[in-house]
Amino acid sequence: MISGPSGAGKGTLIRAAAPHFDRLLISVSATTRARRAGEREGRDYRFMSRADFLRRVEEGQFLEWAEFGGNLYGTPADFVDAGLEAGNDVILEIELKGARQVRARRPQAVSIFIQPPSLAELERRLRLRNTENEEEIHRRIEHAREELDALQADLLRAERDFHYVIVNADVELAAEALRSTIEEIRANDPAR
């Protein structure tokens, strides 16, 4: 499982690291979120209505699911199970509530938290961006502070709950770190 705040660069790192491995599948999640430009049905997500999603929840089709930013996201269990049974590893890119469910249901799952650059750096960038009037600056910084507080709480939890934490300050270095982390996880896997 790969988790981390939005903007941390999870997807980029996975796409950079995964092609170096065989028998490594990336799970395609179901979501009720609208498709963004450039996203493809079945490759990036399986896009569906809320009613369809909730029917699948009722039918127990998801290994985990959660609401994030007003949309529902879930990991189809059949894809993961078939992949594992065929001898693959499966990567899930999911938010924190989903990761908690998978941890409880699949104790063998290994979790990686992708951390954005330091909070101070994020705040510095936000301040730099603010060239508006004082009131606007104040409003934006207050908003940023709320986000940073939430992020800080995530980071503290991550240190405790995740097997690995990778800081994504430099994409190439972080992708290399993810690659060696996957190698290490495979080397330590008693099932191999």
Q: How far is the CB of 142 from ligand 5GP (least distance, A)?
A: 24
- Give the residue with the Cβ less far from ligand 5GP, 93 or 175: 93
DSSP-assigned letters across all residues of the chain: -EE--TTS-HHHHHHHHGGG-SSEEEPPPEE-SPPPTT--BTTTBEE--HHHHHHHHHTT-EEEEEEETTEEEEEEHHHHHHHHHTT-EEE-B--HHHHHHHHHH-TT---EEEEPSPHHHHHHHHHHH--S-HHHHHHHHHHHHHHHHHHHHHHHHHHHH-SEEEE-SSHHHHHHHHHHHHHHHHHH-TT-
- Give the residue with the Cβ less far from ligand 5GP, 3 or 181: 3
Residue from 1, 48, 56, 74 that binds ligand 5GP (CB under 6 A)?
74
Q: How far is the CB of 192 from ligand 5GP (least distance, A)?
A: 26
Residue from 14, 80, 91, 94 that binds ligand 5GP (CB under 6 A)?
94
- Give the residue with the Cβ less far from ligand 5GP, 112 or 175: 112
**Residues of this chain that bind ligand 5GP (CB under 6 A):** 6, 29, 33, 64, 66, 68, 73-75, 93-95, 98
